[in-house]
Every structure is written in structure tokens, then in C-alpha cells.
Structure 1
């Protein structure tokens, strides 16, 4: 099984999972967040990605979160599900859950158990062989993940169902080496007439919309003529050829040099609480104003440093400050103390939405 390759670019938002005070997942607040993120210029949403609290969820909760995101997101937002599991069987099962929830792709990190490169390559290939959705790799030098060697990335890029990479340690030099090593990879992706991604939800006709059309009694084999609503017309599309798609992850303030090197977009941790501020760095560059992009990026440095230090608890408090539902992390992670909250408040003071 395999999915059709997706265009992966722009700013992607890493979703957090809100919880009740007793630790149960709060799906209504997640739906609210996804609805608000859908109003931003972000190109995609990443659920249960590395660094989130996805590993703390049960299988039932995972399915519920994926369904909530799939039903709440705007049709044009690319949806990517983290499927970090320690076995091929469980990762594939999670990919199938993501497919049922109308996601577009899955994000696969290395198992927590340190594997030799040969077994690691087998893990990625076996999941990609069976996944109903295209696979994006995750690389990060910090445990429990690992930085993927460029030789391994190049080998996996040849797999028809492995379409790209999010790299939390991406530098201009590393990106250049990956681009060179994967230069032979070319794939056709479906895009809109303005070269935006086409999601699975965009090409599924929406019943009950559009003008009614009359169906004759004769065609129904008797009875009165009926007015039946036609499905909404499908969108116009075209094809774009892309290579192996490499996205940055981590600090939004370090994005400009990577964009100048050719990176098509990023998954900044800060985008969870300040999506507009992160997008402005990307948008200024795309508009041909690198000086403005650099200025926008400079404003994010303090926030990046604070969020890197405080992790998901800091991101969640930042969400609370900016009109999203964050709340406390799930135990054993602890909420921020007063001093830590003040750090986040100062860092986000100029970044409030």
C-alpha cells in the first residue's frame, strides 16, 4: 500500500493536546485550537509529532485526537500525523488510523530503542511499504529520537512512499548535503492552479452542497420527480514535479538562511502559540524582502530560547496567552512555576496575536 505524494511546504504548526485537570484529553478544546489555526496562513498542521505529548496517549485517545483534528481542520490545510512507535506493526496501525481520519501524510521517527543503521533502514522501509499514506521522516539528534545519517536519508529517499524529511538539526551545510545526495529523486504531486497543496479532503465531493438537479421519475423507475443536491464540484488541479522535500524544524528565528538555501518551509515549535509571527518570517522572504524577514526572525529569538528551555509546558502556556487552549501538560511533566510563566510572558509580549 502507498499514498500519493503530497506537496510539503510553508509553515506547519505542531499541535498540542489539551487535557482536563484530571489528565483526560479535552477534545473540544483541541477542536477549538484546530479551528483557529485553520484561519491562519499556515500550510499544514502536525498532530502527535515528536516533542508533543502524543506518546502519553492510549490507542483510543490517539484515534480520538486524530478524528477530532481531521473533522475540525480546514480542507486546504495539509494534515500530518506523528506515528512514532517502536514496532512496524504499531506504526502501521497508527498510519491506518490517520488515513481513516482523513490525514494526508504521516511523520515517522526512529524507535526509542537504538538500532543499527541496517535495522533502522528496515524499520522505515517496512512502515513505508505498508502505510496507506506517504511517509515523512523525522531527524533530531536529541533523545529519544536520533539524527539520521545523510547516507541513510539518501537511501530511504528512493522509496516511492517516503516523500520528505523534517530535520530539527538542519543547517545550510546539512541541507546542501541532503539535497545533493537526493538530487536524482523526482516525483509528481498534485497542486492547485496557484501551486498550493491539494489535500485528500479537497478532492472528496461534499454532498449536500451545490445547486439541486432534478431527476426524472422515469430514470428512477417510477414515482414523482425528485430534486437531489449534486456534490460540490471538484477543484481544478495541475501537476508539479518536486524532489525529496526537506523541511526545517525547531527554531523559527533561524529560518531565513535555510529559506535562502532552498528549504521550502518549516515546523517551528513556536508556531503552536505564535503561528502568525512565524509565518511572517516565511512570507517576507517569499515576497522578496529578506531584510524584513531577518527583522521578523530577530524578534523571535528570545521566544525560541525560552520555549527550547521550557519544552511543551512553555508552549502550552504560550498557547493560553495567545488565545489557544494549552493548559497543563500530562504528568509526570509539570506545569510552569511563577518565574517560568514570567519568562514566557516577556518573550511573547511582542508576539501576541
Structure 2
């Protein structure tokens, strides 16, 4: 694993308040995570991460055999790691115990050089801290914390900064901020991100607003901090890299992982013409599995590309026949399907 050394506080012991959490949480957070080190390492986040979907069986239980089968195929690709329990993982539909078990299984399947970034965001600060500790105990290298949004009118800059600071203060592993206003309607200000970037355990952000100007502004304002930005979509991987993003968390990478990784390598090599051409071709397929057809579209595409997608968990519904044809056409028109 590539690390960036930076002195931070001693790893925090799990707090006694965790006794009110289900037994599985206590077990997961206590598992051999008291490492013999005086600081939390900074991770080199550079690269591509698929935000992996969660497969379900006909009874809507997590299908771990299908997930393992998918992971075996993804392991053959040059991903920097995996994001689990992001928006594409249907994390809002899972119990805390399910979330922890998915991370535990994933850690047992992938080598230590592959980073596991686990979604730990909850609506309350208290629950987010507990989930972060649980994810660390299950083997996550870092946690991805989405902005709370239910009481959106009260989510001021002060409230958000206080929330993320408390989470980082109590997380055993590094924290990544996660802004996805398409789902939360909360778009953190540049100023808030810059303030939080000064925290020694907040090491980066997954920026999914689609605003490349904002991404560039954040990168410029945090250039003196040990802080990294990941673009949140394959639709603007090139554009975000041009302004300084170190990689991307791309739903399309679950399906076209080789192509998304190739785009990242072309960008790193400075091949602008080839990068731009591939970037343009990836836009329509990416939109098909994100904003156009969402998680049901991504799961349908997985089935078509030799992975297990299956049905989403209710209330999400599988794509209808007409939607399926539209999605397939988006892949065919740019040469990714015959």
C-alpha cells in the first residue's frame, strides 16, 4: 500500500458509548484494530475506484456468492481499490449489520494493496462515529462520509464542519468527505471543505457535484494541505484530472473497468488527444448507469457484461424492456457493445 507519512494523534480507542450498539457492532469494532503505531497514515488515493453495487437474491437478501464472483473479476483490473456503501451500493437500504459484513467479506477477498473505502455516513453524528469505528474494525482503510441531509435547512456550514470534525476526531481510520447534491441536495461550500482539509485525519473528498470549477477551486485552496480530490463520475474524469484530481470513483468502472482505467493511464501519460477521445465516448454509457437509469440501470448493465447485477432492493425496481433497450443503445453507439 502506498502511504504518505504525516504525524497525527494516537489511534483512538473505541468509546464506551458503543455499548448501546448491537453486539455485532461491538465485535466488529474490537477486532484487532488497536494497531501498534503512533499515527494514522495518509493514504495515496490516486487511481480508479468502482463504487461497487450490492447484489441481492430473490428474497432481497445480500448474495455474497455473487458479490465474491464480481470481486474476483474486478481484482483482475488495475483499480486502486474499491468503494463500498456508496450511492451505487444501495447503502441506505441496508442494516448496520449488513453494511459491516459486506466490508468484512470484501477485506477477506482482496489484497492489502487494494484500498477499501467504506461509506459510513449516517444522519446523526453519533451514529456516523459508531459506523466509522465499525467499518475500521471490519477492515476498511478509510471511511467515506456523506453530508447529513434530512434536516437540510439546518445543515449550515457550521453544522457540517462540526459534524465532520467530530467524526474525524473519533474515527480510527482516515476520513473522506462525500458531497453528492443530486441525492442529498446539500452542496458543501468550498470554504467548508478548505476548513475541514486542515484536520489531520480528513484526507480528501469524493466530489460528485459535477462542478469542475468547484473541484479546481478546492484543489487550489487546499494545495498546502495533505488533501486529495477524487472526481465522482466517469463523465468528467479528464476534466477533473486537468485541474488536479488524483483519480475517480466511477460507477461505470463496475462495467467498463478496463476502459475507465485506460483513460486514467492516458491522462497520467499526458496523451491529451487520446484521453479526450476516450472521455467523450464514455459519457453516454456513464450517464446511462448513473443519472439516466440509476442503480437499476447499473445492475442491468452488469448482467450484460458478464457480472452479476440482479434486481435492486425495493422500493427500487428493475428496468422495463424499453429502458433496457435505451441503455443498450447508449453502449452500442459508442462501440462498447455489438
Q: Do both share a fold (TM > 0.5)?
A: yes
Note the C-alpha offset of 1:301.
1.9
Q: Which residue of 267, 282, 294 corresponds with 1:285?
A: 267
Q: Which residue of 2 aligns with 1:120?
A: 160
Q: Which residue of 264, 277, 282 corresponds with 2:246?
A: 264
Structure whose CA Rg is larger: 1
Q: Which residue of 1 aligns with 2:36?
A: none
1:75-224 alignment to 2 at 5 Å?
A: 75-113=112-150, 114=152, 115-144=155-184, 146-185=186-225
Q: Which residue of 83, 97, 104 corresponds with 1:60?
A: 97
Report the more deviating stretch, 168-177 or 83-92.
168-177
Q: CA 1:323/1:273 → structure 2, altered by over 3 Å: closer, same or farther?
A: same
Runs of 4+ off more than 6 Å: none
- For the residues of structure 2 that align with 1:288 and 1:142, how far apart are their CA atoms? 31
- For the residues of structure 1 that align with 2:68 and 2:308, how far apart are their CA atoms? 10
Note the C-alpha offset of 1:116.
2.0
Report the more deviating stretch, 298-307 or 36-45.
298-307
Cα pair 2:52 2:251 within 8 Å, conserved: no
Matched, 1:49 2:86: yes
Q: Which residue of 2 aligns with 1:218?
A: none
Q: TM-score, normalised by structure 2?
A: 0.83
The runs of 5 or more residues in structure 1 that have no matched partner are: 186-242
Note the C-alpha offset of 1:127.
0.6
Cα pair 1:109 1:145 within 8 Å, conserved: no
Q: Which residue of 1 aligns with 2:77?
A: 40
- For the residues of structure 1 that align with 2:69 and 2:93, how far apart are their CA atoms? 21
Q: Which residue of 2 aligns with 1:325?
A: 308
- For the residues of structure 1 that align with 2:65 and 2:45, how far apart are their CA atoms? 28
Q: TM-score, normalised by structure 1?
A: 0.80
Q: Which residue of 202, 220, 228 corresponds with 1:245?
A: 228
Q: Which has the higher helix share?
A: 2
Q: Which has the higher strand share?
A: 1
Note the C-alpha offset of 1:175.
2.4
- For the residues of structure 1 that align with 2:336 and 2:230, how far apart are their CA atoms? 23
- For the residues of structure 1 that align with 2:185 and 2:201, how far apart are their CA atoms? 21
Cα pair 1:137 1:166 within 8 Å, conserved: yes
- For the residues of structure 2 that align with 1:75 and 1:32, how far apart are their CA atoms? 19
- For the residues of structure 1 that align with 2:88 and 2:149, how far apart are their CA atoms? 13
- For the residues of structure 1 that align with 2:53 and 2:286, how far apart are their CA atoms? 17
Higher relative contact order (CA 8 A, sep 6+): 1
RMSD, matched Cα: 1.7
- What do the CA deviations read for 1:236-290 (whole angstroms, capped 9, x no partner)? xxxxxxx31011002x132212222221111112112211121121111222211
Note the C-alpha offset of 1:111.
1.1
Matched, 1:255 2:295: no
SS in 1 for 2:112: coil
